[in-house]
């Protein structure tokens, strides 16, 4: 470490204090961020880093996007929280804009992604009993191996990641897991009691796993034919990341239910939503589901501005064009410290050759060169820059990766 002792002590002091007073449910990289703007963040020592993680795609629009800050600041002057016990003058505008973006009728606003997933499961079960006619408490949901849908007790119960799942049982029944990318396996798992198929169109946490082309369309067809809801968890894959508004758009697939979160809050506050047509989401009746903060006017103001940023399609086109560029540049690294690369828009999983080191070690070396990435599942690093990144910045970041891999 070449930093001056006084400043170095500053970083260490913050990290030590966190160790003492924050539960150890994360193992953060040794950087203490104090400021952010666009694709760049600055640490407490004044060192700048290019953010290639974007808070797991919650920062698709970058840090402190001016249009989003404007929406927040305007709303802060008016009102922030009402609860759904009353109407507020922002929720309807947000919901109608988001429903239009999704081509659906109704929005159920929540806060975190896991809440959107839980809500989607509740809606699917209620739909199964009230519309499809599944016998009480018999409804099942088909999920995919390698899934990541959040951290609540029900959700971790159908994860196959021991770190996410072990010692948190007993697990909720009613879930069947099949291999990801295999539509026939989904069909084989469907019974008359199946309420829904819940999948990520691209598995983010698993390492940006892109299913074979045709998978989503086949799953759509299977769900329709079997009267089963298709629930797409687009919490990480959606809202421009893959060069389309939704990852399902890559196969022109329209799910019955969209689960949205992360970037929906503009990187400012947690905003999530379940979006579906009235024949599905309409099954929920007053009093059956809710959230103290869901649909609050501040969140709605930010969410509306997020939808407006996406309505022009400009960011999606940008992500698509830059994504092709990223794919080409990362492809050049295969065989040079990289064993495989998977790219969808501005989203990439890069498998690191164990001879070079672990994903964590590569992330640490990139940190020292001013680039922030996060490893996942040992050998993979995930690259997901804010969609506002410039081509020159992207090239610079990939060049840092090339240098790190060259050792
Ligand atoms: C992050 C994520 C979630 C959970 O979102 P939280 O806001 O962390 O609860 C659910 N599904 C997917 C696909 C995610 O990437």
pLDDT for residue 10: 77
In what helix (H) or strand (E) does residue 259 lie, and over which residues does it extend?
strand 257-260
- Segment 186-192 shows an average pLDDT of 98
Query: Is the beta carbon of 113 within 6 A of some atom in ligand 1?
Result: yes
Phi, psi of 214, deg, nearest 5: 105, -20
CA–CA separation, 94 and 306 (whole Å): 9
CATH number of the domain located at residue range(s) 66-311 in this protein: 3.40.640.10
The residue whose CA is least distant from atom 11 of ligand 1 is 149
Catalytic residue among 233, 256, 351, 375: 233
If one residue of 150, 158, 267 were mutated to test the ligand 1 pocket, choosing by the most ligand atoms within 8 A of its CB, it would be 150
Tens of pLDDT, residues 257-271: 999 999 999 999 999
Comparison of pLDDT for 307 and 2, the residue scoring more: 307
Q: Residue 325 to residues 246, 247, 259, 321, 329: CA-CA distances in angstroms? A: 20, 19, 29, 7, 6
Catalytic residue among 51, 262, 293, 374: 262
- Segment 184-193 shows an average pLDDT of 98
- Segment 231-260 shows an average pLDDT of 98
The residue extents of the domains of the chain are 11-64+317-406, 66-311
For ligand 1, what atom is nearest to the CA of residue 115? 9
Query: Is the beta carbon of 386 within 6 A of some atom in ligand 1?
Result: no
Ligand 1 centroid to residue 377 C-alpha, Å: 16
Percent of the chain with pLDDT over 70: 98
**Which of 401, 398, 393 lies closest to 40 in space, CA to CA?**
393
- Segment 194-207 shows an average pLDDT of 98
The residue whose CA is least distant from atom 5 of ligand 1 is 113
pLDDT for residue 3: 46
Distance of alpha carbon 62 from the chain centroid: 15
Tens of pLDDT, residues 84-112: 999 999 999 999 999 999 999 999 999 99
For ligand 1, what atom is nearest to the CA of residue 152? 9
Q: What is the mean pLDDT of the chain?
A: 96
Tens of pLDDT, residues 141-180: 999 999 999 999 999 999 999 999 999 999 999 999 999 9
> Does position 1 have pLDDT exceeding 60, yes or no?
no
Ligand 1 centroid to residue 159 C-alpha, Å: 13
Ligand 1 centroid to residue 282 C-alpha, Å: 24
> Does position 189 have pLDDT exceeding 70, yes or no?
yes
Tens of pLDDT, residues 269-285: 999 999 999 999 999 99
pLDDT for residue 9: 58
If one residue of 144, 236, 257 were mutated to test the ligand 1 pocket, choosing by the most ligand atoms within 8 A of its CB, it would be 236
Query: Is the beta carbon of 148 within 6 A of some atom in ligand 1?
Result: yes
Query: Is the beta carbon of 60 within 6 A of some atom in ligand 1?
Result: no
What token pair was written down for 72?
Answer: 């927040």
Ligand 1 centroid to residue 221 C-alpha, Å: 26
Contact 305, 295 (CB under 8 A): no
The residue whose CA is least distant from atom 15 of ligand 1 is 236
Query: Is the beta carbon of 384 within 6 A of some atom in ligand 1?
Result: no
Ligand 1 centroid to residue 10 C-alpha, Å: 32
Tell me whether residue 182 is one of the annotated catalytic residues.
Answer: no
Catalytic residue among 61, 94, 148, 246: 148
Ligand 1 centroid to residue 204 C-alpha, Å: 9
pLDDT band at 2 (very low <50, low <70, confident <90, very high): very low
CATH number of the domain located at residue range(s) 11-64+317-406 in this protein: 3.90.1150.10
Tell me whether residue 148 is one of the annotated catalytic residues.
Answer: yes
pLDDT for residue 385: 98
What token pair was written down for 338?
Answer: 């990289």
Prediction pTM value: 0.97
CA–CA separation, 254 and 250 (whole Å): 10
Tell me whether residue 262 is one of the annotated catalytic residues.
Answer: yes
Query: Is the beta carbon of 114 within 6 A of some atom in ligand 1?
Result: yes
CA atoms within 13 A on the CB side of 279: 5
């Amino acid at each position: 470490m070449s930093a001056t002792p006084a400043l170095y002590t500053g970083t260490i002091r913050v990290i030590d204090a966190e160790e003492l007073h924050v539960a150890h449910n994360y193992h953060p990289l040794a950087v203490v961020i104090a400021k952010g703007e666009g694709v760049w963040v600055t640490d407490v020592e004044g060192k700048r880093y290019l953010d290639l993680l974007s808070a797991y795609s919650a920062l698709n629009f970058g840090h402190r996007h001016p249009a989003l800050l404007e929406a927040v600041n305007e709303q802060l002057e008016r009102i922030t929280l009402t609860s759904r016990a009353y109407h507020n003058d922002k929720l309807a505008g947000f919901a109608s804009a988001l429903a239009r973006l999704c081509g659906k009728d109704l929005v159920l606003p929540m806060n975190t992604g896991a809440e959107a997933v839980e809500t989607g499961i509740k809606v699917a079960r209620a739909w199964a009993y009230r519309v499809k006619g599944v016998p009480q408490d018999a409804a099942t949901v088909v999920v995919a191996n390698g899934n990541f849908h959040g951290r609540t007790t029900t959700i971790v119960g159908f994860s196959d990641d021991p770190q996410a799942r072990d010692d948190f049982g007993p697990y909720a029944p009613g879930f069947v897991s099949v291999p990801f990318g295999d539509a026939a396996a989904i069909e084989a798992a469907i019974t008359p009691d199946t309420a829904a198929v819940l999948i990520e169109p691209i598995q983010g946490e698993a390492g940006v796993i892109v299913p074979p082309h045709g998978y989503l369309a086949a799953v759509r067809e299977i769900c329709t034919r079997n009267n089963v809801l298709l629930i797409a968890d687009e919490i990480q894959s959606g809202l421009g990341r893959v060069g389309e508004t939704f990852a399902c758009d890559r196969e022109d697939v329209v799910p019955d239910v969209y689960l949205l979160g992360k970037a929906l809050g503009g990187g400012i506050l947690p905003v999530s939503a379940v979006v579906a047509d009235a024949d599905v989401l309409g099954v929920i009746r007053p009093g059956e589901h809710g959230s103290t903060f869901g649909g609050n006017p501040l969140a709605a103001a930010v969410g509306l501005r997020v939808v407006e940023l996406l309505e022009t399609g400009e960011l999606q086109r940008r992500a698509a064009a830059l994504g092709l560029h990223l794919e080409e540049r990362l492809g050049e690294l295969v065989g040079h410290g990289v064993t495989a690369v998977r790219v969808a828009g501005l989203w990439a999983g890069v498998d690191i050759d164990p001879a070079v080191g672990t994903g964590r070690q590569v992330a640490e070396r990139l940190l020292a060169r001013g680039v922030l990435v996060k490893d996942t599942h040992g050998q993979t690093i995930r690259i997901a820059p804010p969609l506002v990144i410039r081509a020159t910045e992207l090239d610079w970041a990939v060049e840092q990766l090339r240098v790190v891999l060259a050792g």
